Amino acid sequence: MKKIVDKNYCMSSFLAFRYVAREDMIFGGGGNHVEFKPLPDSEKIACKSIRDIEDCIKMQLKNINTEKAALLLSGGIDSGILASYMPEGTVAYTVSSPAGVAQMEIERAARVCRKYGLEHRIVEVTWEDYDACMDKLMLHDGCPVFANEPQVYVLAKKIKADGFDTIVFGDNADMAFGGYDQLLSKDWNFDEWVERFTFIIPEKVLVDPTKITDVYERYRVDEKDIDYLRFMNEVFATSSSGAYINAFDCLGIGYLDPYAIMKMAEPLDLKRVRSGDSKYLLRELYRERFPEFEVPEKIAMARAVDVWLADWEGPKRKEFKKNCIEGMTGEQKFLVYSLERFLNLMKL
């Protein structure tokens, strides 16, 4: 495919979706970004029960050398379930941060390891770690990064240095089994979904933004509605999983997400999710594997960007509006910071 250099479109798309949503577009400057693509639903294994999920996990673990595999363990449902099927003695890694990441997550992960005989290692991630690897990640991918990627890189680098060649993780569980309860909280119409999902509205940040509504139009159902479930499975999944894959590929380490090849055999029960029972199949399996534990609520990968970027004054380049980061969350600030850093790095 012939690539079109369009910096303005790429900047707008990255701010809105955390990746460049058109395959034929690149920033330029020598970058040749190739976006990660989730496995199509037609190629996934349909899971109707917890036994189906269990069989799928076991089958995939048989296909790797588990003696050379390590586990990313947050202490939540998804990675906890995977931990319960790893061989005794497997090393599980949990991230920590000096900027105030909740100790409860580390304690939950440690308890999981004690129950199933895993060795628990904690990796502290600092802003200095982020600063040291961001340029490597961006040069490798030809694209700015968002807040997950440097942290995953630091973890993966430690795991590789410890002698492992494969990382087992569980990023796709939320997407496969109805875990994003806030995004699934209602049946959104088209305009509502655009407002709800867009990470940063490009017009609020960029001097010369490009309209990115073409991405949403692919999922329009009629004049008012949108297929937001398909949007999540394609657009959101691309940016979410892509962050892990870029970090792993940059280091040349293998990876396995057993949930990435799974889908629900029956339509997601949105009423059940909206009543507080998100990921109900995984919750059922977790209760079976950990009958003495409370089922933990969703634990996102901890990132301390709110603290690290609290005093950042914002971008200085001419592409950005003045005071454009006012009122932003740390995650949003990091997108803007990363984009400006990328433009400087690539001399664009």
Q: Which pLDDT does position 298 carry in this prediction?
A: 65
Domain span holding position 184: 4-345
Contacts of 178 (CB under 8 A, 6+ apart): 184, 264, 268, 269, 270, 273, 278, 279, 280
Q: Tell me the pLDDT tens digit for each residue of 89-99.
A: 999 999 887 65
Average pLDDT of the segment spanning 325-332: 95
Half-sphere exposure of 25 (CA within 13 A, CB side): 17
The H or E element that residue 45 is part of is strand 45-47
For the chain, what is the total number of helices (H) and then of strands (E)?
Answer: 16, 9
Average pLDDT of the segment spanning 310-335: 96
User: Domain tally for the chain?
Assistant: 1
pLDDT band at residue 34 using 50, 70 and 90 as cut-offs: low
**Residue 53 has which token pair?**
């999920």
Average pLDDT of the segment spanning 156-182: 95
Half-sphere exposure of 203 (CA within 13 A, CB side): 5
**Residue 212 has which token pair?**
């990115």
Q: Which pLDDT does position 16 carry in this prediction?
A: 97
Q: Tell me the pLDDT tens digit for each residue of 270-311.
A: 999 999 999 999 999 999 999 999 998 765 555 688 889 999
Query: Are the C-beta atoms of residues 94 and 125 closer than 8 Å to each other?
Result: no
The CATH number given to whatever domain includes residue 30 is 3.40.50.620
Q: Which pLDDT does position 200 carry in this prediction?
A: 97
